[in-house]
Copies of this chain bind each other. A is one copy, B any other.
Amino acid sequence: MIRLVGVGKTYEDGTVAVQELDLDVQRGELVVLVGPSGCGKSTTLKMINRLIEPTSGQIFIDGQDVTQADPVQLRRGIGYVIQQIGLFPHQKVIRNVMTVPLLYGESTATARERARELLDLVGLDAATYGDRYPHQLSGGQRQRVGVARALAANPPVLLMDEPFGAVDPVVRIRLQDEFLKIQRELGKSVVLVTHDIDEAVRMGDRVAVFETGGRLAQFGTPAQLLAHPADEYVEDFVGATRGLRRLTVTPIDPEHLEPLDGVSTGDLGSAIDVDATLEEALAAMLRDDKPLVGVRSGAQFVGVLTPAGIHRQLRASLK
């Protein structure tokens, strides 16, 4: 779907923002760009929709070289959430969200309806906030309007630059979930920039870890990244506690559960589903204040997990 081949960008003053970057995004895939501040994530994103022209290399979307494409047509097929939010200060919130559907020639009524839905989706009551101007919103509210605006046109490709950076974790997880749902359902191809490795691990089908200077340090699935960091840099970036972070992404391995034998059902507390992650298992144990948790598949108990068992599975997944 999207392919970057040997792409580089050197700014006029000589700053090398991105160098020799090879990257590909499959159709329906969500690729996360993550890396330290100033490593060239935004620059990379903006080269895809030609807001910045690369100084070397080539970028293809659907096999077509973007430098050959008409930039306006190109961008109409690509949703874009800008890091600085960039709401239109002269338009009310609802209008800001309606702007792209109107661009596509939808009727005002349809666009308004869609904008209402999207505002609700990002947790802003259209009746309360729709008629405000952007400067009357809080920082996080503005950012959410920015996300709603980019989603409004329902584009097949989405570029999102730190779309959830300014919102609290409750809202963020809600937004991430909603977004993942939409993305999976509609098969969107997404490039998402974040500096939050948790968000990267949580959302990315594949994650590209950048190094300062715009070098790609590693590009792989979250599990690969956590289990086999390519080098010390990635290991550091993923974090000293990356083992713990893996809790979030490691599914329970039903093969290695402890047997149910000798455990009374009263001790099992609220059982968890076999599809859950190790994190959810640990959280359930703490919530119920029990040293073990039952795992079931449908109505059927398939085993129990203990703290030591979780640790064991985690260690196994790291190999």
Contact = CB atoms under 8 A, between A and B. Distances in A.
Interface in A121-160: 123, 132, 136-141, 143-144
B241 A244 contact: no
B196 A169 contact: yes
B239 A13 contact: no
A198 B22 CA distance: 34
Contacts of A167: 36-37, 195
B241 A283 contact: yes
Contacts of A170: 36, 236-237, 239
Given A291-B312, A307-B308, A311-B307, A37 B136 contact: no
**A-B complex: 3 closest residue pairs judged by Cβ atoms:** A37-B140, A243-B286, A168-B195
Contacts of A138: 37-38, 41-42
Given A241-B279, A243-B287, A286-B244, A165 B168 contact: no
A144 B36 CA distance: 12
A244 B243 contact: no
A38 B119 CA distance: 14
A68 interface: no
A166 B165 contact: yes
A222 B210 CA distance: 33
Contacts of A171: 36-37
A310 interface: yes
Interface in A273-319: 279, 282-283, 285-287, 289, 291, 306-308, 310-312, 314-315, 318
Contacts of A243: 282-283, 286-287
A266 to B, nearest CB: 18
B37 A168 contact: yes
A291 B311 contact: yes
A195 B165 CA distance: 9
B35 A168 contact: yes
A162 interface: yes
A141 B38 contact: yes
Contacts of A123: 37
Contacts of A161: 139
A172 B237 CA distance: 11
Given A83-B139, A165-B165, A166-B195, 7 more contacts: A168-B197, A169-B195, A170-B237, A240-B287, A243-B287, A285-B311, A307-B310
Interface string A195-216: 1110000000000000000000
A172 B34 CA distance: 14
Interface in A219-268: 236-237, 239-241, 243-244, 247
Contacts of A236: 170
Nearest to A197: B169
A83 B137 CA distance: 13
A73 interface: no
Nearest to A128: B15
